[in-house]
Amino acid sequence: MEEKHFTRGKDNVPRANDLGRKEVACTYGFLGGRPLYVDWPWPDAVRANVEWQNASFPYLKKGPFDGIRIQRPSKYSGLQVPTEDKFTDIMRGRRPVSDARQIVTEWRRDGGDEARDFYMKVLRDNGRA
C-alpha cells in the first residue's frame, strides 16, 4: 500500500520503505519471465546476466530430441509427473532413498518400458539413434 509500504520518487517509481521490504514479497513476478524488484541493489545485474548467457550460448549442446515434434500417447504423459513427484519426494526427504527401486519397478510396470521404446523409435525414425 502506498505510503505504508512504499513512496514514489520524483520519477514516480515506487521505492519500498523498511516496512515494505520486510512485509511485501514479490509473489508472482516470476510469471512474467522476469522478477520485479523495487530498489534493485545491483544496477548491472541484468547486463551481466545477458552477457553471460550470450557468451555461454555457443557451448550449449543440442539434446537428442531437439527439433523433433513428438505427439506422445497420453498413457506416457500420465506416467511422467507421478514418477517425477515420487523422486522429488526422495530428494526432499519425504521418502527414503530405498524407495527408488520400487518407483522404477512401478514405472516399468505402468508403461515406462513402452515409453522408452516409443522414444527410441522416434529417434530411429529421425536418424538419431
Taking only the tens place, the pLDDT of each residue in 44-101 is: 888 898 999 999 999 999 999 999 999 988 888 889 999 999 999 999 999 999 999 9
Question: What is d(CA 102, CA 98) in angstroms, rounded to the nearest whole number?
Answer: 8
- Tell me 29's DSSP state: G
Question: Residue 79: enclosing H or E segment and its boundaries?
Answer: helix 74-91
Q: What are the angstrom distances between the C-alpha of 49 and each of 14, 37, 52, 55?
A: 24, 16, 5, 10
3-class state of residue 110 by DSSP = helix
Q: Work out the mean pLDDT of the chain and round it to a whole number.
A: 87
Overall pTM surpassing 0.75 (yes/no): no
Query: Which residue(s) pair with 8 in the sheet?
Result: 14
- Residue 127 pLDDT grade (very low, low, confident, very high; cuts 50, 70, 90): very high
Given a cut of 90, whether residue 117 has pLDDT beyond it is yes
